[in-house]
């Protein structure tokens, strides 16, 4: 069976090209070998025949002197002189003398202790030495409710009545703040109770340690049909 080869893999077709490349390389190497030479040592005419250029230890004649390195003179170093600033008579700071803290003796100084600043008490108390009071006492409070409560019409038509418990805070100046309903039978009654409590006149503030403080308070607002 004859083995078939592809044309691009057949090296027999390229034998002549390989032979030419090898011949060119051989000729180039031969020319380089003929052109190769060593460097010549040039010897002055007056020393020709006296010095062997390939001798390791050369003996120089007496008329040839080696150059000796002259010692360089030592340059003197510059001495830095202090710069003296001339005094200007027009300078406003002229003539001033600066003293450091070391020039003065230490003198003990008594610093008086300042009293502590009073800390404002913004706590809300439930019970204090002296509880807040409404104008006219509890009787005046009941009279105020009786004169200012407006029974909601819808509650009157539906027959809704009852007692609404309202919580609030009597501030240091006696004003009523943070009004909120704690318990109520109807939302319409709650709105009316809040309106009446918010419009109350200022109370006498509660006191703790002789100072006015904030006190939480609760009052019942009674809604009853006649």
Q: Tell me: the pLDDT tens digits for 50-87?
A: 555 544 444 545 554 555 556 666 666 655 555 555 55
| pTM of this structure | 0.48
Q: What is the pLDDT of residue 58?
A: 47
**Would the pLDDT of 25 be above 50?**
yes
Query: How many whole angstroms separate alpha carbon 140 and alpha carbon 143?
Result: 5
Domain-located, residue 77 = no
Question: What CATH code is carried by the domain that includes residue 168?
Answer: 3.30.2420.10
Is the pLDDT assigned to residue 158 strictly greater than 70?
yes
Give the residue, 40 or 111, on which the prediction is more confident.
111
Q: What is the dihedral of CA 27, 33, 35, 40, to 10 degrees?
A: 180
Residue 27: inside a domain, yes or no? no
Residue 148 or 80, more confident: 148
* pLDDT bracket for residue 179 (50, 70, 90): very high
Select the more confidently predicted residue: 193 or 65: 193
Q: What pLDDT band is residue 202 in, cutting at 50, 70 and 90? A: very high
Quote the distance between the C-alpha of residue 90 and its chain's center: 49
Do residues 119 and 208 touch, judged by C-beta distance below 8 A?
Answer: no
SS3 13: helix
Query: Higher confidence at residue 67 or residue 149?
Result: 149
Q: Which regions of the chain does DSSP assign to beta strands (E)?
A: 124-125, 162-170, 176-183, 206-208, 211-223
Would you say residue 140 lies in a domain? yes
pLDDT at 122: 83
Residue 173 to residue 171: CA distance in whole angstroms: 5
In this structure, the number of other CB atoms found within 10 A of the CB of residue 47 comes to: 13
Domain range for 206 is 124-223
- pLDDT classification of 28: cutoffs 50, 70, 90: confident
Residue 213: per-residue pLDDT: 95
* Mean pLDDT, rounded, for 192-206: 95
DSSP string, 127-165: S-SB--B-TTHHHHHHHHHHHH----HHHHHHT--EEEE
User: For residue 55, is it within any domain?
Assistant: no
Residue 39 lies in a domain: no
Higher pLDDT, 219 or 42: 219
Lowest-confidence range among 77-86, 121-130, 156-165? Answer: 77-86
Q: Is a pLDDT exceeding 60 seen at residue 131?
A: yes
Q: How many residues does the chain have?
A: 226
What is the CA 16 to chain-centroid distance, rounded? 81
The answer to whether residue 62 is domain-embedded is no
Average confidence (pLDDT) over 82-111: 59
What is residue 60's predicted lDDT score, i.e. its pLDDT?
A: 47
Domains held by the chain: number: 1
Residue 49 has pLDDT above 90, yes or no: no
Q: For residue 75, is it within any domain?
A: no
Q: Would the pLDDT of 137 be above 50?
A: yes
Higher pLDDT, 71 or 137: 137
Evaluate whether residue 182 is within a structural domain: yes
In the predicted structure, residue 196 carries a pLDDT above the cut 90: yes
């Amino acid at each position: 069976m004859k083995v078939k080869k592809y044309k691009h893999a057949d090296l027999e077709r390229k034998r002549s090209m390989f032979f030419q490349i090898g011949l060119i390389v051989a000729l180039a190497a031969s020319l380089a070998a003929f052109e190769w030479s060593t460097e010549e040592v040039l010897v002055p005419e007056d020393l020709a025949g006296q010095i062997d250029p390939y001798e390791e230890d050369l003996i120089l004649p007496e008329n040839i002197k080696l150059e000796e390195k002259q010692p360089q003179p030592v340059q003197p170093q510059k001495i830095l002189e202090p710069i003296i600033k001339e005094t200007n008579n027009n300078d406003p700071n002229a003539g001033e003398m600066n003293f450091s803290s070391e020039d003065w003796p230490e003198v003990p100084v008594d610093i008086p202790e300042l009293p502590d600043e009073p800390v404002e008490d913004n706590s809300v108390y439930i019970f204090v030495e002296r509880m807040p009071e409404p104008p006219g006492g509890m009787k005046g409070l009941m009279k105020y409710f009786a004169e200012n409560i407006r029974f909601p019409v819808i509650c009157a038509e539906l027959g809704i009545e009852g007692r609404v418990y309202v919580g609030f805070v009597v501030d240091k100046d006696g004003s009523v703040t943070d009004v909120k309903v704690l318990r109520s039978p109807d939302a319409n009654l709650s709105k009316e109770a809040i309106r009446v409590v918010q419009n109350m006149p200022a109370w006498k503030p509660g006191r703790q340690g002789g100072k006015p403080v904030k006190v939480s308070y609760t009052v019942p607002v009674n809604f009853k049909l006649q």
